[in-house]
Homo-oligomer: A and B are copies of this chain.
Amino acid sequence: MQALLIVAHGSRRAASNQEVAALAAVLAQQSSRFALIDYAFLEMAAPNIATGLQQMVAKGAQQITVLPYFLSAGNHVIRDVPRIIAEFSQQHPHLAINIAPHFGLAPGIADLVLAQAGSPAKI
């Protein structure tokens, strides 16, 4: 069973974390590929990444894609998230985990930014 874990930074502000939860709920409705879609936070909020992964394993996930929901590849994306995933992976050798490129690399970001700024793209 294939699962997708959205990993966000996490905030002290509950409403911020709820945005991520709401996104995961929308994704779970839209996706036909992933039988399970959930979210976790690097810090400041629950569940943390290891707990999020553990919950997916408990629900029967055999392949997990982790999507770092970050706009640019700072130390969190380059160092912290991969380290946590690697540790979990070592403890669960039969689980296939892969990390998708961080969200900021998604094609279409520029168009979305212009739309959000109220500006139509030239083309």
A23-B110, A117-B65, A119-B31 known; A11+B103 contact, CB < 8 A: no
Interface residues on A, range: 35 or more
Which residue in B20, B73, B107 is a CB contact (below 8 Å) of A15? B73
Q: State the CA gap A10–B81 with chains docked (Å).
A: 18
Which residue in B31, B65, B75, B106 is a CB contact (below 8 Å) of A112? B106
A27 at the interface (CB under 8 A from B): yes
- CB-based nearest B residue for A110: B26
Q: State the CA gap A70–B10 with chains docked (Å).
A: 12
* Chain B residues whose CB sits within 8 angstroms of the CB of A77 once the complex forms: 16
**Bitwise interface map of A from 54 to 78 toward B, beta carbon under 8 Å scored 1, else 0:** 0000000000010101111111011
Q: For residue A39, give the distance in angstroms from its CB to the closest CB of chain B.
A: 11
The residues of A with any CB-CB pair to B shorter than 8 Å are 4, 6, 8-9, 11-13, 15-17, 19-20, 23, 26-27, 30-34, 65, 67, 69-75, 77-78, 100-101, 103-123
